[in-house]
Structure 1
Amino acid sequence: MNSTDLSVLKSAVSWLKAGHPVAIATVVQTWGSAPRPVGSWLAIRHDGQVAGSVSGGCVEDDLISRVQSEILTRNTPEMVVYGVSQEEAARFGLPCGGTLRLLVEPKPQLAILEKLLVGISSHQVTKRIVNIASGKSTLEAGNRNDEFTYTDSEMSTTYGPRWRMVIIGAGQLSLYTADFALASDFEVIVIDPREEYAEGLNRNDVTFIKGMPDDVLLAIGVDPHTAVVALTHDPKLDDMALMEALKSPAFYVGALGSRKNTQKRKERLLDFDVSKEEVERLHGPVGLNIGALTPPEIAVSILAEVIAVKYGITVPKKI
């Protein structure tokens, strides 16, 4: 789940708990060049406040008006279609004659949304299934590979935790890497036990944990939506983190260092009860080979490699 979808969910829960009538609109089908993909959603409060987007601003004003005047008075989901004709597509600003079908739920269940939020916060993948006839929804365990589905009888959407990057070390390169990771919609955690770095990382957008990397990784729990990047250039810290990260289900594990130092690191890890298969998961030297020299350039190369692995793109082995 990206930060925008998570914000929609948090807003809907907050508004419903405060007693506000709320409708949730979900993109269930698109044709042509509709601006938002299926599964995108929008929370609409009775007074016109919104969170999220279903069209990038093309149809939201009209949808808000329809929700306020009609849909919130109903008890079951309503299908709303925009852009059926070229004229209507032009009227609503849908590019290239795009068409948009939205399922609008006028009575989303607070208890279900709260449970969904708890699951996401606990790094669980959860599927929400909405019965079209009744408007009632249920939750079940999901899989990151589950696709959005919509039929005449139900809508199924899978939500997962935000992708997370854990950075070992709080030096200059780590801060640039954190900035690019945040811009790429990762939740960022920086771990560093060194006293001299504790004062330098006073930011609200990054979680800083002062502690030994291996202990912290075990404490926070590394899941398949987590990337671990070791950037201290201190084997005593990086290797400790890598010993745990390579045994975890992290989708990406990388470490700073030259080819020669990476080979030595792999040999050391084999001596510390890390299997050959686990060691071969290590991306090192960390980052794609784009000729990067400066800390910002190296940070770009790191994010590029992490994103490639996230989306299943094969990256070349370096050693």
Structure 2
Amino acid sequence: MDNVDLQVLRQVAQWLDDEKRGVVLGTITRTWGSAPRPVGSLVAVRDDGQIAGSVSGGCIEDDLVAKLREGALRLSKPELIRYGVGAEEATRFGLPCGGTLELVLEPLGPASQVQALLAKLAAGARVRRVLDMHSGAVSLHAPEAGADVVQLSATTLITHHGPQWRLLVIGAGQLTQYLANFALALDYQVLVCDPRDEYQPEIPGARITREMPDDCVLAFAPDGHSAIVALTHDPKLDDLALMEALKSPAFYVGAIGSRLNQAKRRARLAEHFGLSEAELARLHGPVGLHIGARTPPEIALSILAHMTAERYGVTLSSSSAGSGAEAGCSL
């Protein structure tokens, strides 16, 4: 879930607990064609017409307020509605021609467990929320592996909340501080690993560990929503992390260093750790996109830009020219 939807839940909790207002929560469950917000996005409507969040350019929100004033949102249980079935209606609701958006509207109450969900999210947990479409009761669970999508059936709506993407950074130098802060702004859960006593970083929102890098990668248990970036400049530490990272399903594995040193690194990983050509081909090194970066924040930006491209399946190779990280590093 992104920060916009987290803010919706926080506003909803205030409306329910502090102001004792009636609230209906809308969740996008399906879209056809282009849509202004992705599946899983939230909008909340208070009983006096106040809105939090969005699911369109404003037209659907306006329609929800109109329904509320007409009494159509006095719901006793969750209800499924659809907008934009035809071109005329799609245009009216700010959707691309022919686009369609489906919402579950859920009247909130004590059984909705909004505060319990927020407490788990504040602790950094990822949560699977199961809504009973008949009773409106909600139960909260640990996420199931590989099941991050919104699932709607005749009986339940399942949504996932909390940090979906994770970043493990090896090394706690100045570049790491910028990379971690940028990643946190993009809703990554960030873990920084550095066993060296000389580095004592303070990065609010990130977790710090003193484990050895290979042990840290194994404990991190990378999955397809994980990125691992090695930034120590020390082959003894970076190579230990990469040895395990390149065998994992992580969607992005990168290491700082010049093109010459990347070639030496690949040779070491093949000779001493037995990594295959296919595993070595997954290494983004020099790490980051070639944007002419020189300073630590610019290099961090180049790395996050490359990670973002990989997340969305956009192929932008850092090896076609000098990468941002290489430009600022001769090691």
The two structures share one fold, judged by TM-score above 0.5: yes
Alignment-derived partner of residue 302 in structure 1: 303
Which segment is superposed worse, 160-169 or 238-247? Answer: 160-169
**Cα-to-partner distance string for 1:49-76 (whole Å, 9 max, x where unaligned):** 7654323655547746855984675322
Of 71-80 and 26-35, deviating more is: 26-35
- Matched with 2:167 is 165
5 Å-filtered alignment, 1:1-319, equals 1-8=1-8, 22-28=23-29, 35-44=36-45, 52-55=53-56, 60=61, 63=64, 70=71, 73-79=74-80, 94=94, 102-107=103-108, 109-110=111-112, 131=133, 141=144, 143=146, 146=149, 153=154, 159=160, 161-198=163-200, 201-276=201-276, 277-316=278-317, 318=319
Q: Which moved more, 1:44-53 or 1:277-286?
A: 44-53
Q: Distance in 2 between matches of 1:88 and 1:225?
A: 33
Query: Which sections of structure 1, spanning at least 5 residues, go unmatched?
Result: none
Structure 2: gaps of 5 or more residues: 321-331
- Report the residue type matching 1:181 in the other structure: A
**What TM-score do you get using the length of structure 2 for normalisation?**
0.70
Distance in 2 of aligned mates of 1:141 and 1:186: 19
2:328 is aligned to none
Query: Structure 1 residues 30 and 225 mapped into 2: Cα distance closer, same or farther (>3 Å)?
Result: closer
Whether the 8 Å CA contact 1:76–1:107 is kept in 2: the answer is no
Moved more, 217-226 or 255-264: 217-226
How far 1:238 sits from its partner (Å)? 1.1
Contact kept, 8 Å, 2:228 with 2:245, in 1: the verdict is: yes
Structure 1 residues 60 and 168, CA gap change in structure 2 (3 angstroms)? same
Q: How far does the alpha carbon of each residue in 1:212-245 deviate from its partner, in whole angstroms, 9 at most, with x for none? A: 2223333333222110111111112211221222
Alpha-carbon contact 1:127-1:142 (below 8 Å) kept? no
Percentage identity across paired residues of the two chains: 47
Q: Secondary structure at the match of 1:228?
A: strand
Change (3 A) 1:122 1:206: closer
Report Cα offsets for 1:16-63 as digits up to 9, x if no partner: 799966532123566898643443212456687765432365554774
The secondary structure found in structure 1 opposite 2:43 is strand
Deviations for 1:60-114, whole angstroms, at most 9, x for unmatched residues? 4774685598467532223566789989977xx8488988653311157546996
- Count of residue correspondences: 311
Contact 2:83 2:89 in 1 (8 A): no
Instruction: Give the distance between the partners of 2:155 and 2:256, measured in 1 at CA.
Output: 48
Q: Distance in 2 between matches of 1:143 and 1:7?
A: 25
Aligned residue identity for 1:174: T
Closer/same/farther in 2, CA of residues 36 and 314 from structure 1, 3 Å limit: closer
Contact 1:128 1:158 in 2 (8 A): yes
Q: Is the 8 A contact 1:217 1:244 kept in 2?
A: yes
Aligned residue type for 1:165: L
Query: Which letter does structure 2 place at the counterpart of 1:253?
Result: V
Q: Aligned equivalents of 2:46 and 2:264: distance in 1?
A: 58
- Compute the TM-score of the two structures, normalised by the length of structure 1: 0.73
Q: Give me the whole-angstrom Cα distance separating, in 2, the residues matched to 1:88 and 1:262.
A: 51
Distance 1:40 1:296, change over 3 A: same
Cα contact 2:27–2:40 (8 A) shared by 1: yes
